[in-house]
Amino acid sequence: MQKLHIEGGRPLFGHVPISGAKNAALPALAATLLTADTVRLRRLPNVVDIRTMTTLLQNIGSAVKRSPDSCEFVAKGDLDPVAPYDLVKTMRASSLVLGPLAGRCGRARVSLPGGCAIGSRPIDMHLAGLRSLGATIRQDRGYIEALAPRGGLVGGRIHFRRPTVTGTEDLLMAATLAKGESVLGNAAREPEVVDLANLLIKMGARIRGAGTSTIRVEGVAELGGADHAIIPDRIETGTYMVAAAISGGDLTLDGAQPEHVQPVIRKMRSAGCEVETPDATTITVANGRPLISVDVTTREHPGFPTDMQAQFMALMTQCEGESTVHETVFENRFMHALELQRMGAAITIDGSFANVRGKTRLSGTDVMASDLRASACLVLAGLAAEGRTVVHRIYHLQRGYERLADKLQAVGANIRVVD
Ligand code: EPU
C-alpha cells in the first residue's frame, strides 16, 4: 500500500494551481443521467472519487468520451438504474444517482452506504424528499428502491430537518423532471449546490433561489445537453492556504474562487496570516509572524466548513495559546486529533469540542489516515514537523486531492509517494 514520506521544516514558496471541486463534480456527473443528450464537463479533477462515479455511470449505461480538457457523457438507450454495493461502499456520494434515476427512469435501486469514519451519515432526508415527490421507498436486502408513480415524479414541498448538501443536490435533480412546482426548504447553500443548479439551468431546468435556503423548481418534460466547467475546489484551496501558513512560507493559489473561501480567509487572518485576493481568481497567503490562537465552529455554508476543520487543527498546534474547535456538522470527526497527539500535539477532546494548546513542537512519526480531510491534516502537520512523517493509507487522499504530492513538491516540500 502506498505511503507518503514528508521531511518537515521547509517553508513553501511559489504558485499552486487549484483543481476543479470534487464535491461539485460528483453531482454534476450524476446530473448527466437526466438527459439523453451529450453533457460535456470541464475541470473534472483527476481523483479516485470522480473515476468511481464515472464507473457507476458506465454501469448504469452512459457512454463516456474523454478528451484532454473535458469529458462527454451520453446516457441514452436502456439504462440500468442500479448503484451496486461494491461502488457505494467505497463512495457514499453514489447515492447522488438516486434522484436523477428516479426522475428519469421512474425507478432507482441504490445500495445503502453503511458505516463511515466521520459519523453515522444516514440518507433519511434524501428518502423523505423523494417521498414528497410521490416516490414509494422500500428497503430490500441492503438496497433502497425508489419507485415513481406511473406518470413520473410529481412536484412537492420538501423541508429538510437540517441543511444537507448531497440531499439538496439529489432532490434538486429529481425535481427538475417532476410534474409541477417543487419547493426545497432549509436547503443547503453551499457553492457546490449553486454550481449544480447552474449546470441544470444550462440543461433546460427551471430553478430559482439556489444559494438561498429556499429553492423553487418548475419541472420540465425533458432536459437537454450542456457544456459546463466545474467551480474551483474551495477545500483544496483552503488546504493550501494552511500549507503556506503552517510551513512559514508564501503561496499564491491560482485559479481559485476567493468568495467561496471567505470563512477560511477570515480565520486565517485572525490567526495572524496575511491573506490577499489580488483578483477574482487568485489568493496569496504569507506567514512571516508568529501564529496566534483562533477558535473555529464548523457550520453549513456560509459558516466555517467542516471539511477544513482537520486542516485547521493542524494549524492550531502551531498557534501561540489555546484554540478551540467545535464540530457541529458531523458527530465523529476528530480521528486526526489522536494522530496529531502522537506527533506531539497537546489536544484534549470533549464530545464535539477539541481544545488545542500551542505552540507545540511536532515530531515526525508514522501516522494513519482515517478519511480524506484527516489525511490532509496529517500531511500539513508533517510539513511543520521535525524529521520524517510517514502517512499511511494515502488512498484516502487520492480520493479527493489531485496530484497533492506533486503540487507540494513544486513549491518546495520534501514529500514523495513510496510504494
Ligand atoms: N444527515 C442526516 N440525514 C441525511 C443526510 C444528512 O442526518 O439524510 C446529516 C449528516 O449525518 C450530517 C449533516 O446531516 O450530520 C450534514 O451532512 P450532509 O448531508 O450535508 O453531508 P453530505 O452531503 O453527505 C457533503 C460533502 C462532505 C461534507 C458535507 C458537509 C459531498 C460529496 N460530500 O456530504 O464532504 O463534509 O457535505 O459539508 O459533497 C469530503 O469531501 O471530505 C466530505 C466528507
Distance 290 CA to ligand 1 centre (A): 34
CA distance 265 to 305: 12
User: What pLDDT is stored for residue 331 in this prediction?
Assistant: 87
Nearest atom, ligand 1, residue 371 CA: 42
150 Cβ neighbours under 8 A, 6+ residues apart: none
Residues 328-351 pLDDT 10s:
999 889 999 999 999 999 999 999
| Mean pLDDT value across the chain | 96
| Angle between helix 98-105 and 165-176 (nearest 10) | 10
| Residue type (1 letter), 356 | V
**Residue 250 in contact with ligand 1 by CB distance below 6 A:** no
Q: What percent of the chain has pLDDT over 70?
A: 99
User: What pLDDT is stored for residue 122 in this prediction?
Assistant: 87
Task: Please confirm, yes or no, whether 116 is among the known catalytic residues.
Answer: yes
Task: Tell me which of 71, 116, 319, 377 is the catalytic residue.
Answer: 116
Residue of the CA atom closest to atom 43 of ligand 1: 307
**Residue 301 in contact with ligand 1 by CB distance below 6 A:** no
User: What pLDDT is stored for residue 289 in this prediction?
Assistant: 82
Residues 288-309 pLDDT 10s:
789 999 999 999 999 999 999 9
Residues 79-112 pLDDT 10s:
999 999 999 888 989 999 999 999 999 999 999 8
**Residue 4 in contact with ligand 1 by CB distance below 6 A:** no
* Mutation choice for ligand 1 from 120, 166, 189, CB with most ligand atoms inside 8 A: 166
CA angle 61/65/68 to nearest 5° reads 150
**Residue 123 in contact with ligand 1 by CB distance below 6 A:** yes
Residues 251-285 pLDDT 10s:
999 999 999 999 999 999 999 999 999 999 999 99
Indicate whether this model's pTM tops 0.95.
yes
| Angle between helix 22-31 and 191-202 (nearest 10) | 30
Provide the pLDDT confidence category of residue 116 given band limits of 50, 70 and 90: low
User: What pLDDT is stored for residue 282 in this prediction?
Assistant: 98
- What's the sign of the alpha-carbon dihedral 37, 41, 46, 47? negative
Distance 166 CA to ligand 1 centre (A): 6
CA angle 163/85/87 to nearest 5° reads 75
Residues 150-201 pLDDT 10s:
999 999 999 999 999 999 999 999 999 999 999 999 999 999 999 999 999 9
How confident is the model over 376-402, as a mean pLDDT? 96
How confident is the model over 35-60, as a mean pLDDT? 97
